[in-house]
Amino acid sequence: MSVPADAPILTSSAMRDAEAACAASGTSLSELMDRAGAAVADIAWRMAAGAPVLILCGPGNNGGDGYVAARLLRERGANVRVAALAPPTTDLAKAARAKWAGAVEPIDETLAPAPVAVDALFGVGLTRPLAAELAGRLRALAVRRVIAVDVPSGVDADGEHDWAPPLPAHVTVALGALKRAHVLLPAAQHCGRVLLAGIGIVCDATIRTLPRPPAPLPGVTSHKFSRGMMLVRAGPMPGAAALAAAAGLRAGAGYAVLSGADTAPLSAIIAEDGDHYPARLGDKRVGAVVIGPGYPAGMALDRDVASAIDSARPLVLDAAAIDAALPRLRGGGLTAILTPHEGEFVRAFPGAEGGKIDRALAAAAETGSVVIYKGADTVIAAPDGRVAAAWPGSPWLATAGTGDVLAGACGAMLSRGGDPFDAAVQAAAWHIARAAHIGPGLVADDLVGE
Ligand SMILES: NC(=O)C1=CN([C@@H]2O[C@H](COP(=O)(O)OP(=O)(O)OC[C@H]3O[C@@H](n4cnc5c(N)ncnc54)[C@H](O)[C@@H]3O)[C@@H](O)[C@H]2O)[C@@H](O)CC1
Ligand SMILES: [K+]
């Protein structure tokens, strides 16, 4: 499973607007359909490598893309069949159907499978789940490889409804832009490898996939403080905070202080007694304070969070520290990255509604903070509406302590100054790249190893 880096993600309605804008600026919708069909045909040609291809067409423009692909594949000499659910209903799809000179089989119990199927049944126009009979028939089709046109048919492209597709895709060809279903669970796991066919649609989307991880070389004039000084406040479980401090150094911070712990996993970390905490908060060189890892709710946490907020340093707030800071965050004026996992998010933002992207945006707007809503389909949202979707992340991160490492990486990126959203995005990208590099057997400590 994969998605292209830094790719635009649009809702179905924004996609239609982009399509209309493209048409208004001189590229006809029929030209867009030709480009979409050509992109699909190209991928099907390569995946089939000579094997027969079955194209399943629906009644709308998704089906239209399928007819175009069928025609182009046949022109290239491919062994291609078309089966349709119903006659085309849109003018574009009718025109595409009319140019397909071959037979059109019904999608019924007599339909013979093929090694490669192109799923052009429904795209962003799906308004309800597939009928049970159709879903059953598609599930029973013994195809080896499925290429989904735009989205696997049956999923809600906007990711608001959990409708499972009967034909999970090995490859999905996203048209014009990615859709939310490509990056949000449960739909994303059915999309396989997502490829973007731009087809000439210009969209300056504020919601995008994660960019490639940063590879920042320190400048030749860098010194330890210019690379970022971070302060990690330890609670009753100092191991978690120590992990965050070590992650901060590995992620590029020049200086890490671990306050409230007497030992640290790296000699380079300054571990010091908790009494120094107020003085450290007053040190203007501290570019970020990380608090929350290994620090359960209680009066001590409330006090330490309040001191961090009073210091006006940029903050990384994890776990119970998010709840402790919420009333002050809602007041506005703070620079913070919040890193809740699902349980913490629901506890802190019980009123957030919609899909995961909408909920993350609501939380960011409510707190004026950057929110990293963690999970296998991590979503990073800024109060100004920017979003980075981190699907598919790395499954090796599903282990204890990796959240502490992410908080530390956020501290490192934030401590250098600059935009907190960019810092959060860079930290997430670093975290995933590091996990992918380590792979099987990963424990959180490995992320901060050499
Ligand atoms: N966005 C773009 O720029 C482009 C989009 N194109 C294609 O157009 C697609 C969207 O086309 P449409 O808007 O025509 O929509 P779709 O082709 O996705 O489906 C619409 C049709 O399905 C019916 N329908 C919806 N839910 C159903 C259900 N559960 N069971 C049975 N029928 C159902 C509708 O009544 C309608 O007839 C995109 O996904 C893409 O494949 C391309 O042709 C070209 C460019
Ligand atoms: K489809």
Write the DSSP string, 112-181: ---SEEEEES-STT--SPPPHHHHHHHHH---SEEEEESS-TTS-TTS-S-PPPSS--SEEEEESSEEGG
Mean pLDDT, range 148-166, rounded to an integer: 95
Residue nearest to atom 32 of ligand 1 (CA): 126
pLDDT in tens, 325-343: 999 999 889 999 999 999 9
According to the model, what pLDDT value does residue 226 have?
82
Nearest to 210, CA basis, from 423, 12, 388: 388
- Report which of 92, 39, 83, 96 is spatially closest to residue 57, judged by C-alpha positions: 83
- pLDDT score, position 415: 97
Residue 222: per-residue pLDDT: 84
The rounded Å distance from CA 65 to ligand 2 centre is 9
Tell whether the model's pLDDT for residue 285 goes beyond 80: yes
Condensed to tens digits (0 to 9), the pLDDT of residues 255-264 reads: 999 999 998 9
Instruction: Tell me 2's DSSP state.
Output: B
Which protein residues touch ligand 1 with a CB less than 6 Å away? 15, 19, 32-33, 36, 58-65, 89-90, 122-130, 149-150, 175-176, 199, 201
**Ligand 1 centre from 388 Cα, in Å?**
26
3-state secondary structure 261-313: CCCCCCCCCEEECHHHHHHHHCCCCEEEEEECCCCCCCHHHHHHHHHHHHCCC
Has this prediction a pTM greater than 0.90? Answer: yes
The pLDDT value recorded for residue 320 is 98
Determine contact, residues 126/156, Cβ cutoff 8 Å.
yes
Q: 42: pLDDT confidence band, cut at 50, 70 and 90?
A: very high
pLDDT band for position 225 (50/70/90)? confident
Q: Report the chain's mean pLDDT, rounded to a whole number.
A: 95
What is the number of the ligand 1 atom nearest to the C-alpha of 122? 18
Task: Name the DSSP class of 188.
Answer: G
Q: Which of 84, 89, 75, 91 is nearest to 119 (CA)?
A: 84
What backbone phi and psi angles, to 5 degrees, belong to 241? Answer: -65, -35
pLDDT at residue 30 in the model? 95
Share of the chain above pLDDT 90, in %: 90
The span from the CA of 114 to the CA of 146, in Å, is: 10
* Domains of the chain, CATH where assigned: 9-209 (3.40.50.10260), 229-447 (3.40.1190.20)
Q: Compare 220 and 341 and report the one with higher pLDDT.
A: 341
203-219 per-position pLDDT tens digit? 889 999 999 987 767 88
Residue 324 pLDDT more than 90? yes
State the binding site: 61-65, 119, 123-129, 150, 153
Buried b (16+ CB within 10 A) or exposed e, 319-348: bbbbbbbbebbeeeebbbbbbbeeebbeeb
Q: Which atom of ligand 1 is nearest the CA belonging to 124?
A: 39
Model pLDDT, residue 450: 80
CB 199 within 8 Å of CB 33: no
Q: Which of 156, 198, 170 is nearest to 36 (CA)?
A: 198
Checking 359-363 for CB contacts under 8 A at 24+ apart, the result is: 360/387, 361/385, 361/387, 363/338
* Per-residue pLDDT tens digits for 112-128: 999 999 999 999 999 99
User: Binding site for K(+): what residues are annotated?
Assistant: 62, 119, 153
Smallest-distance ligand from the CA of 56: 2
Confidence at 416, pLDDT banded by 50, 70, 90: very high
